[in-house]
Amino acid sequence: MNKKHLSFFMAFLIATTLFVPTKITTLAETADKTEAADTEKSSDTSNAAELSCTAETEKIEKYGNVTLSIECKEMLEAGYSYGDIVNVSFLDQTLELPFCSNFSDVETKKPAILARKEDTYVVLAINMGDFATTYKIAVKETAKDNTITWKAADGVEYPLTFTITMNTPGGYYEEYQFRQMTYTTERTDYPDLSDEEFANFRAITTTGIGEGKLYRSASPINPKYNRNTYANAAIEKAGVTVIMNLADDEETAKSYEGFDNTYYSKQKFIALNMGVDFTAHDFKDKLAKGLKFFAENPGVYEIHCTEGKDRAGFVCAIVECFMGASYEEVLADFATTYYNYYGVKPGDDKYNFIVNNVTKNLENAFGITDAKNADLAVEADKFLTSIGLSDDEKAALKVNLGSGESKVSKASESVAATYIVRPGDYLIKIAKEQLGDRTKWLDIYELNKDIIKNPSLIYVGQELKLK
């Protein structure tokens, strides 16, 4: 079998990353493509592609992902396919990792080897975690301005050697396929969504939150996903005055093109530059800073990360629990994001997978085993104490985010008692149009369990109770 010899040399400095020299030493070529097309993958790995690499240029990303100097296209051309399980050996340890195309292709806190379409190089990562720290490759240091740098962990000498070999072709394929969800940056691809929904913007209306007091969205300043201008317009319309930016440090936030001309730039904001490992001390320390910022500054509040999906979803869930939301309310708000991005509705195959994520995150944060039946307000209160909020700060947070008023609006008082299902209806749509709040689909479902067996299956002509 012929061997391809490749070498990569990178020499550049970035303040927030660590670089270590790397070099690919061996890349075995795949079998003849025509032959492979007629042969299904099997667990026989004797002829499987093998990739051996000796690190010369290793980059530690902001969130602890380890970028290898192996191009994604090389690994795919070598014969690896998404859904394979591969062995990755380094620092006297061998991991069995699924080969995937995105972080969300594995469960929260699980590692993977990724060849993402938007990346040039292969990445070792943990979904909502920190690969470099977990596997003792590097140590993160956070400066007072929340900028991040990395240094080699104790006892680690470079160059590192990462050896990648096939374990089980297609061994993760079924799970990988189930987790495939994509969205676009084009506004025209979402004709059924309002501008606010496209920006993943909404008021948080769960129990205990005052009307018009707290909002969440995708980033109103980062143009990466083309939702920023819509989000900025939405927070202006809502009168937001105090913002918790989970994604950026202050310098990065202010560097986005057009920042000085945004409504956002004229408001009070704290830039926390949080990672994606919700259990990390660094994450908890920064969350405490953000919540103290809310406690110290009365106003109308907004929380965002980049997409308003993972970090914002977790932080909003914590706040909702603290303010008295039910388990069902938290799930409904969390799942709304996935409707806005992916069109996932209650009852869809992927719906349970999505809500299970927030359930696991809450259970991990609170140290409990059954979030559904726990007193989430009590658990959230204990959690905020554990990360450093005082009783006075928690009391101020409740005053600033609450209202003490009934959550029943005047509009809801005139809602019809029943609704007849029409062609094209589904529960989220009915909740939005009839009750003014798409998250109230669960209320409709609960009221009509006698005739709705599956929340994704309702039928024309059914008469549904609305209150």
DSSP secondary structure string for all residues of 407-459? S--HHHHT--SEEE--TT--HHHHIIIIIS-GGGHHHHHHHTTTT-SSTT---
Q: Which of 208, 205, 209, 248 is nearest to 228 (CA)?
A: 248
* Residues 6+ positions from 18 with CB-CB distance below 8 Å: 58, 59, 60, 138, 149, 150, 151, 152
Residues 465, 458: Cα–Cα separation, whole Å: 13
- Paired tokens of 131: 């690969």
* Residues 6+ positions from 453 with CB-CB distance below 8 Å: none
For residues 87 and 167, the answer to whether their CB atoms sit within 8 Å is yes
User: What is the pLDDT averaged over residues 16-39?
Assistant: 32
3-state secondary structure of 348: coil
β-partners of residue 214 are 301
**Burial level of 184, CB count in 10 A (0-12/13-18/19+)?**
exposed
Residues 22, 10: Cα–Cα separation, whole Å: 9
Q: What are phi and psi of 261, to 5 degrees?
A: -95, 5
- Is pTM beyond 0.85? Reply is no
End-to-end CA distance of the chain: 71
Report residue 434's pLDDT band, with 50, 70 and 90 as the boundaries: confident
β-partners of residue 90 are 93
For residues 22 and 8, the answer to whether their CB atoms sit within 8 Å is yes
38 vs 453: which has the higher pLDDT? 453
Residues 217, 201: Cα–Cα separation, whole Å: 4
H-helix segments, 183-223: 195-198
Residues 193, 420: Cα–Cα separation, whole Å: 23
User: What is the pLDDT averaged over residues 148-163?
Assistant: 87
Q: Which of 268, 366, 350, 263 is nearest to 314 (CA)?
A: 366
> For residue 209, what is the DSSP state?
P
Instruction: Give the position of tokens 């969390």.
Output: 334
Q: Which of 98, 54, 99 is nearest to 76 (CA)?
A: 99
β-partners of residue 215 are 203, 302
For residues 243 and 304, the answer to whether their CB atoms sit within 8 Å is yes
β-partners of residue 134 are none
- Paired tokens of 465: 């109770």
347-396 pLDDT per residue, tens: 887 888 788 888 999 999 999 999 999 999 999 999 999 999 999 999 99
Helices 327-342, 311-323: axis angle to 10 degrees equals: 150
Helix, strand counts (H, E) of the chain:
16, 18
> For residue 357, what is the DSSP state?
H
Q: Is the pLDDT of residue 45 over 60?
A: no
264-307 pLDDT per residue, tens: 999 999 999 998 889 889 999 999 999 999 999 999 999 999 99
Side-chain half-sphere CA neighbours of 1 within 13 A:
16
Q: Between the CA atoms of 296, 302, 306 and 312, what dihedral angle is there, to the nearest 10 degrees? A: 80
Q: What are phi and psi of 78, to 5 degrees?
A: -75, -15
Q: Which helix (H) or strand (E) segment is 382 a member of? A: helix 376-386
3-state secondary structure of 288: helix
Q: Is the pLDDT of residue 413 over 70?
A: no
* Residues 6+ positions from 122 with CB-CB distance below 8 Å: 67, 68, 70, 71, 72, 75, 113, 114, 115
232-268 pLDDT per residue, tens: 999 999 999 999 999 999 999 999 999 999 999 999 9
9 vs 324: which has the higher pLDDT? 324
73-126 pLDDT per residue, tens: 999 988 899 999 999 999 989 999 999 999 989 988 899 999 998 899 999 999
For residues 355 and 331, the answer to whether their CB atoms sit within 8 Å is yes
Looking at residue 58, its pLDDT comes to 63
- Paired tokens of 40: 């299904």
